[in-house]
Chain A
Amino acid sequence: MIASDRLTSIPERYPLVCQWEITCRCNLRCVMCYTDCFNRPEKIREELTTTEILRIMDELAEAGCIELALTGGEPLARSDFFDIYEHAKTGGFLVTLLTNGTLITEEIADRLAALPPHRIEISLHGITAHTFEQVTQGSGSFARCMRAIGLLCDRKLPLLLKTTAMTVNRDEVLTIKRYVNGLHESGHRVGYKLGEEMRLTLDGSDAPGLLALSDEELEDLNRQDAELWTEACRNQTSEAKPCTSGQQRFHIDAYGQLQLCSGNRRRGYDLRRGSFKEGFYQHLPAFPCPAKADPQAALLQPSASHA
């Protein structure tokens, strides 16, 4: 028997990691959210049922998928969340839960601790109620989020707190990071990640982009913290690599569409109608991605010769 941090013999193309947007439902209305446009009754009625989700999840397991990130919307806004979560855990998935935290009660924290996730990622977009709730548009949401962080820390669950840098919260980003560092230094298993990407909404609006910081503003922000600056420099200097979405990672939306990634929903394969293996192996490779290496390009290039 070999103890291993990672599997070493995974083929280049293998369905290892799934990000699954199990709902667009959410109790908050975050100003930059790209799924909130589908957080309405008629779209929610179209979402996968519990039975459909569990059936597809079994297909993922059978295909060898092992890392499963449950996201939304707000996953905990589904009344059947724990049916889904517990099925994933007992099925042997390494589950990451992406949540706004505000629905986490003591009882829910206990249930999570009883079947601990690989990681819980919580969006923390402000460190004051004013800023946080300017983003979430939910009265009392800051207090609930902070309480959730405390409940999960108390249960020693691994957390990643994330902020999307925007015009409305840029003045609090460094304070948020210091707060997270303080938790970490106190012995809690908490990490921090600053995000900068603002996406078009699922119905095509670029409204979230109005909240984006300019490149200069982001640079100014990152320069104020050594770790953020190091990360920013690493991202700037690394050469653009071809997108590998669809190779070992894939995305499933709330309606059962298998897609390359959450940022590319140009095409989908309907998992309500077809099997996961057929979708992954026969359809996904043909889905368009502007950041993918052009398979024809290699054929057009002469073999390298060095004088």
Chain B
Amino acid sequence: MTALVNWTDKIYAKNSDFVQREVAGECILIPVRRQLTDVNSLYVLNETGAALWRRMDGKTPLQAITLDFLNEFDVTQTQLEKDVASLIEDLLSIHAIREASPES
């Protein structure tokens, strides 16, 4: 297995502004301290997104999480990297996560 690209070395932490809820089998993110209109909507996570959200603890590098996912999900590394990168970008854009330093 080839090494995942460098961005997976990063560590991300959830922003406490968002709460994750399970509603009718869907995993959604709800902003708590901002009005819905400030972030425009609820955010519905797909299966990979929900799993990623649950694993982001501000301590575990993305690389470790994605390596676990390769074992858990029937997905190619290329597709997983693409999905995770897109999701991280989305979550950062709504400030649902922030980059954390390894020692934090």
Contacts and interface: CB of A to CB of B under 8 A. Distances in A.
B43 A14 contact: no
Interface string B66-88: 00000000000000000000110
B24 A14 contact: yes
A4 B41 contact: yes
Contact of A61 (B21, B33, B90): B21
Given A7-B26, A115-B33, A1 B20 contact: no
Nearest to B30: A92
A91 to B, nearest CB: 7
Interface in B27-58: 28, 30, 32-37, 40-46, 49
A16 to B, nearest CB: 8
Contacts of B24: 7, 9-11, 14, 16, 64
Nearest to A6: B42
B104 to A, nearest CB: 22
Contacts of A10: 23-24
Contact of B37 (A6, A89, A158): A158
A43 B33 CA distance: 35
Q: Which secondary structure dominates chain A's binding surface?
A: loop
Interface string A1-45: 111111101110010100000000000000000000000000000
B49 A1 contact: yes
A75 interface: no
B22 interface: yes
Contact of B34 (A11, A16, A90, A116): A116
Given A1-B46, A114-B33, A115-B32, A7 B23 contact: yes
A3 B32 contact: no
Interface residues of A, number: 28
Interface residues of B, number: 28
A69 to B, nearest CB: 15
Contacts of B43: 1-4
Interface string B1-38: 00000000000000000011111111010101111110
B25 A3 contact: no
Interface of B: 19-26, 28, 30, 32-37, 40-46, 49, 86-87, 90-91
23 contacts: A1-B49, A2-B43, A2-B46, A3-B40, A3-B41, A3-B42, A4-B42, A4-B44, A7-B44, A9-B24, A9-B25, A14-B24, A64-B21, A64-B22, A64-B24, A90-B19, A90-B32, A92-B30, A92-B32, A114-B33, A116-B33, A118-B36, A156-B35
